[in-house]
Amino acid sequence: MEPETDIRPGERAVETPGAYDAGLWFIGRLRTPWTERRDCPRQGDMDNGPDCRVELDLRWQAALTGLGPGQTVQLLYWMDQARRDLVLQTPRGKDRPLGTFALRSPVRPNPVAVSVVRLLALDAAGLRVRGLDCVDGTPLIDIKPAGFGPWHLPHRELN
């Protein structure tokens, strides 16, 4: 789907607000093998997905203290190529529209995404991780330890 012009049957766009309510800083960029949105996987795979890089602005390097290889972390990022005006969307392969908040689509008023990734290595330039699903160069908003959910439990507790 191309920006602002392509609307599938049943979809509806709204006029976006003229001003923003908050600000944020991008703390780095995500480096992945995907250069186009259509090539990105629907969900990252922290076990079998490709190795990716988190390029962290050097001023935030000390904030990585306490993280280590093998840990799972959440990467919050800004889907800067996503349109922001659809309130109803018709997912591929579906015959009826759904509300934006009922979908994991990147198209949303505030295109914030989260991926739970496996931390493979840390170095002076940032992190090597597995489990991303975004376009190369996507802006990074935050990094948090993933201390909850099924990816954090020992395998025996999942059954």
pLDDT tens per residue, range 75-96: 999 999 999 999 999 988 888 9
Stretch among 15-24, 104-113, 144-153 having the lowest mean pLDDT: 144-153
User: What are the tens digits of pLDDT across the range 36-49?
Assistant: 988 988 889 999 99
Q: Does the pLDDT of residue 13 top 70, yes or no?
A: yes
Rounded to an integer, what distance in angstroms lies between the CA atom of residue 129 and that of residue 68? 11
Mean predicted confidence (pLDDT) in 59-66: 93
4: left (phi over 0), alpha (psi -120 to 50) or beta: left
Confidence of residue 141 (pLDDT cuts 50, 70, 90): very high
Contact 50, 130 (CB under 8 A): yes
DSSP code of residue 15 = P
Residue 108 burial (10 A CB sphere; 0-12, 13-18, 19+): buried
* Tally of CB atoms within 10 A around 42: 7
Q: Which residues face 31 on adjacent strands?
A: 53
> How far is the CA of 73 from the CAs of 7, 52, 119, in angstroms?
35, 14, 7
From the candidate CATH numbers 2.40.30.70, 3.40.50.720, 2.10.109.10, 3.60.20.30, the one assigned to the domain spanning 24-149: 2.40.30.70
pLDDT over 70 for what percent of the chain?
89
Q: Record the pTM.
A: 0.82
All structural domains of the chain with their residue ranges: 24-149
pLDDT greater than 70 at residue 1: no
